[in-house]
Structure 1
Amino acid sequence: MRNLLDATAELAAEYLDGAATRPVAQPVTLGSMVAALGPELPDHGVDPQQVIEDLARDADPGLVVTNAGRYFGFVEGGVLPAALAADWLTSAWDQNPGFFALSPAAAAAEEISRTWLCELLGLPVSCSAGFTTGAQMANFAGLAAGRQAVLEAAGWDVEEQGLFGAPPVTVVVGRERHATIDRALRFLGIGRAQLHVVDADAQGRMRVDELAANFPGGPVIVCAQAGNVNTGAFDPVAEICELAAGKNAWVHVDGAFGLWAAASPALRHLTAGVGRADSFATDGHKWLNVPYDCGIVLCARPEAHRAAMRLSADYLARGERQGSDWTPESSRRARAFAVFAALRSLGRQGVAQLVERSCAQARAVADALAPDFEVLNDVVLNQVLLRAGTDERTRAVAAAVQASGSTWFGTTSWQGRAAIRISVSDHATDDASIGVLVEALRKASR
């Protein structure tokens, strides 16, 4: 085992050493990758070290370098050294945080991380926390707690009676909400017909004046957004919470990456009022730069959170912290070790600096490219939307840069027009990385 792990560590180090200079993405197909890895199951086992060496070699053309500073596509953080090392230890330890008896150490890491996260993000220190696969399941867990609470207030026990015959739950969403909200609601038995869609302004923020003029009755959950995935804009959460409080509605905040703005004294104003909400979803594998997978759900009403998620059976020994009380999973990876390591290695100031640096780099991209490209958004966070004339030309510029391998970003549709979307969230992104991005876009545009 030691020889195998030493050899694997060397392969990993070689990959990381070369990541800064290799193409960010290479043109491959699914068929070519399947053929390279070998689609046939061998009759006889292969030596483990040979398996790992072959895997490192054959997977290489299909690896997208998201952790070396030049990836600006989906909002994907890189990987902090301490978080990567802790994640390796997590695999070696093979801990299951679903129940205290399975890993007191994992339970402690979750509890400490919960406290630190509440402090950093300006949330009530009494919030409960669950560590999920990502913001998709963090949104699911937070909305499940909201569904439980608003139905309980209406005299219906959804955990006992299910949804058949229950009072209808209306979910208020902004027109520019993230797609994972709709999917989480589908998982919870809440369809499109139960959505109350509020128009958004030019930056994608929910129009609170429209919500105030037509706030629905009955059991209501309001989904606010901290950080629009295209523009980075924030819904006016303080005003939303004020309206919701008068209607006994539950407020859930989807803050997959934007919630981290609260960790920065310079950007905290963007999250004003967030601490008044009832539940929150964010990602560790975005701006905290821990390895995939890591989402976090936090809830200011732990009793509703636990009621929606709790798992119990006679053979399951109860402990001081049962991880399965707070997530949809019982068996899962001990994600909090990497979160703990990332937070401890950065400290309060390091988290703030990581967020602020990314936002400053996004503004630098917009400023540098404004003469040649139309900047479609107010760059308030780490997102930049660019347009190179027509839809066709915008997509062609993006495709040319992607094909070059020097950097990578995606395209989107914003208010009916094609746009290039730049997301900055990797601790490894430096001025040189920004220079590569800007020059690649200028060259493609020319």
Structure 2
Amino acid sequence: MTDALDRALFHSRTWLDSLAERPVGARASAAELKAVLSRPLPETGRDPADIIDDLAADTDAGLHANAGGRFYGWVMAGALPSALAADWLVSAWDQNSGMFTVAPATCVIEEVAGEWLKELFALPLDASFAFTTGCQLAHVTALAAARHGVLRRAGWDVEQDGMFGAPPIRVLTSKNRHGSLDSALRYLGFGQAALVDVETSPLGDMQAEDLARHLAGWDGPKIVCLNAADLNIGTFDDFRTLIPMAQAAGAWVHVDGAFGLFARTSARLAHLTDGIDLADSWATDCHKWLNVPYDCGFAVVRDPEAHRAAMALGAAYLSPSTDVRDPADWNLELSRRARAVPVYAALQELGRKGIEDLVDRCCDHCTAIVNGIGALPHAIALNDPSLNQGLIRFERPDASAEENNAFTKDIIQRINADGGAFFSGTTWKGRSAMRVSVVSWRTTGEDVARTIETVRRCLEDAL
């Protein structure tokens, strides 16, 4: 085992040391990766150290350098030093962190880390929480509690009697929502027909008048899902207005804060989240702005009774009293990785002030990238970033909108093939655009300058 671990350490350090200069995007095609990785299932075993050497060599060209400072796609970052090292310990310890009796130390670490995160986000300290694989499963967890809560008020026990025959629930969501909400609701048996789109402004925030109309038009159980920063330009809904309105109509309010919840940690950005603490549940990702390794989501629920009833394996309130928190009572997994351990390490490495600095710095870098690229010929900044998300479009003045959609996609491909930076694309108001998403602790002013230069070079080559 020592030889294999030594080789893994060597290749890990080699990878991390290469991030500053290696091409940011993967270079191998699917066919090329399959050619080297699709070996016959071996009949006999191999030396573990040799396996690790082959893994490092065979995958090198197929890895994105998203842990580096010039990767701006999909709200992805790398891992802080303490979080990465703690994650290695998690693998070495191999604790099944579903119950205290099975994994005492890691379950207590999870309890402490969860309390720290609630304090960091200024959410109700008596709320319950769960660490999940990501924000998608955080939505499932929180919305399962929401389902229990609204049906309980309607006189229906969904854990006992299921969804068949239950009072129909309407889920009022923004047209600007992330697709993970749709899938979470489907997992919970709602069906796409239960979702009702609420109108948004040109910037994508939910309109109070239309929400009021939909709330008044449905007498049954209701859930309202709001955005804490949409994925394109970081727009926040007006929580101070919308949450009391929804709750007055009997709705449970859930907030998708995959990365936007971290605006709560910044003195200059916290106003964007004004009133968010009034909601009934929240979901975020730690593997985004907290920069811990994949995977780690976080769900918070104001009503612990509804949360535990929806998730616990046994009868939620017939268990003997105990001072020990069992993670399995609060999420879908009984067998689970100790994913809170890297969070515990990262929160100590950064501290409250370090997290605020990271968030502010990423927002500044995003603005610099959007403005810098937007000043180039044939580039248009589609927004003035208020957070860490920006949009750029590339246009030829004599081309049609459809031709410029294709031109934008072509420039994105050229940038990613160049290797100097990496961006993902999106569609905004019917037009193709390049997303600028900055969440990495590694991104520097030098990275920003190199990124703008890469885009300038790729634009010149395309014209």
Q: Normalised by the shorter chain, which TM-score bucket?
A: over 0.9
2:58 maps to a residue whose letter is: D
Contact 1:99–1:318 (Cα < 8 Å) also in 2: no
Q: Tell whether 2:360 aligns with 1:346.
A: no
1:236 maps to a residue whose letter is D
Question: Matched residues in 2 for 1:7 and 1:77: separation?
Answer: 25
Hey, what does 1:437 align to over in structure 2?
451
Q: Deviations over 1:23-71 (max 9, x none)?
A: 1123322222122124211111001111111111111111111011010
Measured in 2, the distance between the counterparts of 1:88 and 1:111 equals: 20
Is the counterpart of residue 415 in structure 1 residue 426 in structure 2?
no
After TM superposition, the structure 1 = structure 2 runs for residues 292-307 of structure 1, keeping only pairs within 5 Å, are: 292-307=294-309
- Between the aligned partners of 2:71 and 2:261, the Cα distance in structure 1 is 21
Pair 202,327 (structure 1): closer, same or farther in 2 beyond 3 Å: same
- Of residues 141-150 and 429-438 in structure 1, the stretch that sits farther from structure 2 once superposed is 429-438
- In the alignment, the residues of structure 1 paired with residue 334 and residue 427 of structure 2 have an alpha-carbon distance, to the nearest angstrom, of 38
Paired with 1:338 and 1:139, the residues of 2 have a C-alpha distance of 21
Give yes or no for the alignment of 1:377 onto 2:383: yes
Question: Residues 217-238 of structure 1, C-alpha deviation per residue, up to 9 Å, x if partnerless?
Answer: 3100000010100111111122
Kindly indicate whether the alpha-carbon contact (under 8 Å) linking 2:121 and 2:265 is maintained by their aligned counterparts in 1: yes
Alignment of 1:164-313 (within 5 A): 164-215=164-215, 216-312=218-314
CA distance in 1, matches of 2:360, 2:4: 40
Equivalent-residue separation in structure 2 for 1:51 and 1:415 (angstroms) = 48
Separation in 2, partners of 1:281, 1:194? 21
Instruction: State the AA in 2 paired with 1:275.
Output: D
Structure 2: gaps of 5 or more residues:
396-403
Equivalent residues of 1:230, 1:384 under 8 A apart: yes
User: C-alpha deviations, 1:116-138, integer Å up to 9, x for none?
Assistant: 11111110011211111100100
RMSD of Structure 2 on Structure 1 (CA): 1.7
- Conserved in 2, the CA contact under 8 Å of 1:100 and 1:319? no
The structural deviation recorded for 1:316 is 12
Per mean C-alpha deviation after superposition, the further-off stretch among 296-305 and 18-27 is 18-27
Deviation readout 1:265-286 (Å, 9 max, x if unpaired)? 1111111111110111100100
Moved more, 174-183 or 376-385: 376-385
CA distance in 1, matches of 2:423, 2:219: 42
TM-score normalized with structure 1 length: 0.97
Aligned residue-pair number: 446
Residue in structure 1 matched with residue 40 of structure 2 by the alignment = 40
Identical aligned pairs, as a percentage?
Answer: 45
Deviation for aligned residue 1:311: 1.1
- Contact residue 74 and residue 437 of structure 2 kept, 8 A: yes
Kept in 2, the 8 Å contact 1:227–1:233? The answer is: yes
Partner of 2:71: 71
In 2, the alpha carbon distance for the partners of 1:386 and 1:57 equals: 35
Match of 1:5 in 2: 5
**For 1:2 and 1:15, how far apart are their aligned partners in 2?**
20
Counterpart CA distance in 2 for 1:238 and 1:96 is 41
Where has structure 1 moved over 6 Å in runs of 4 or more? Answer: 313-319
Q: Distance in 2 between matches of 1:300 and 1:106?
A: 24
Superposition deviation, residue 199 in structure 1: 1.2
2:441 match: 427
Aligned to 1:321: 325
Question: Residue type of the partner of 1:415?
Answer: K
SS in 1 for 2:101: helix
Partner of 2:367 in structure 1? 363
Cα distance in structure 1, aligned partners of 2:156 and 2:94: 40
Matched residue of 1:214: which SS?
helix
For residues 424 and 394 of structure 2, the distance between their equivalents in structure 1, rounded to whole angstroms, comes to 14
Offset from partner CA, 1:87-141 (integer Å, 9 cap, x none): 0000000011111101111111111111111111110011211111100100111
Partner SS, residue 125 of structure 1: coil
> Aligned equivalents of 1:350 and 1:189: distance in 2?
41
Q: Tell me by how many angstroms 1:319 deviates.
A: 6.9
Q: TM-score, normalised by structure 2?
A: 0.94
* d(CA) in 2 for partners of 1:4, 1:360: 42
| Alpha-carbon distance, 1:315 to partner | 13
User: Does the aligned pair in 1 maintain the 2:170–2:222 contact within 8 Å?
Assistant: yes
C-alpha displacement of 1:406: 1.1
Secondary structure of the residue that 1:100 maps to in structure 2?
coil
